[in-house]
Amino acid sequence: EDKVVQSPLSLVVHEGDTVTLNCSYEVTNFRSLLWYKQEKKAPTFLFMLTSSGIEKKSGRLSSILDKKELFSILNITATQTGDSAVYLCAVCSDTDKLIFGTGTRLQVFP
Amino acid sequence: KAGVTQTPRYLIKTRGQQVTLSCSPISGHRSVSWYQQTPGQGLQFLFEYFSETQRNKGNFPGRFSGRQFSNSRSEMNVSTLELGDSALYLCASSPTRMTAKNIQYFGAGTRLSVL
């Protein structure tokens, strides 16, 4: 059965810290991996990754995929209180369905 | 451009009742997918509609059904509600049929509480 596992489940840091969120997956015929940020209700899109080793970057956030070891990481540098959210990882296989992990809850304190 | 709009935002129902949730996708988007989000299970895929046809389906019982109209708006129906149906129901739209290359854009969801 296809599976996406995120770790840690929860993380508490202070402003200015750097965090690394992990996402590992087991899916048949991997096609893409997506990261979303969910603050209150609507998940908002962060990155889509399809190729190994190519870093995607947006401001203080970056992400990379390792298709050999079947995982991705999401890095956030110089965290701010506005980064507090649940970060969701999702994988798309050849069934064209998104399979989500349960998320990592990040809390950033001033 | 307006985002994905879901109504109502909150619903309280009792066991055995049925409920209908509505989703208006981003203008020009033709694919609408539905997800159930619970604290224990995370986001789970319910189904996807494209051009008024169900294109993909998750592992949910037949009590969960949906439809899509010619203007791409979609409704989801849950019949004979159970306590375990309490969840946040999220709708997502994308320009074309959901594939590995498409990004889905989510609405704020409908919070359903079954008493």
Across chain B, mean pLDDT equals 92
**Cross-chain residue pair A50–B100, CB shorter than 8 Å:** yes
Q: pLDDT tens digits, residue range B25-58?
A: 999 999 999 999 998 888 999 999 999 999 989 9
Q: In angstroms, rounded to a whole number, what is the distance separating the alpha carbons of residues A41 and B12? A: 18
B44, two tokens:
């789970």
Question: In angstroms, rounded to a whole number, what is the distance separating the alpha carbons of residues A21 and A4?
Answer: 13
Q: What is the mean pLDDT of residues A60-73?
A: 94
Question: Residue B15: which pLDDT band, with cuts at 50, 70 and 90?
Answer: very high
For residue B20, give the nearest of B30, B31, B7, B4 by alpha carbon: B7
Residue A2's pLDDT band (cuts 50, 70, 90): confident
pLDDT band at residue B95 using 50, 70 and 90 as cut-offs:
confident
How many inter-chain contacts (A to B, CB under 8 Å) are there? Answer: 64
| Residues in chain B within 8 Å Cβ distance of A97 | 45, 48, 56, 58, 98
Which residues in chain A are closer than 8 Å to B98, comparing Cβ atoms?
A: 96-98
**CA–CA separation, B96 vs B84, rounded Å?**
32
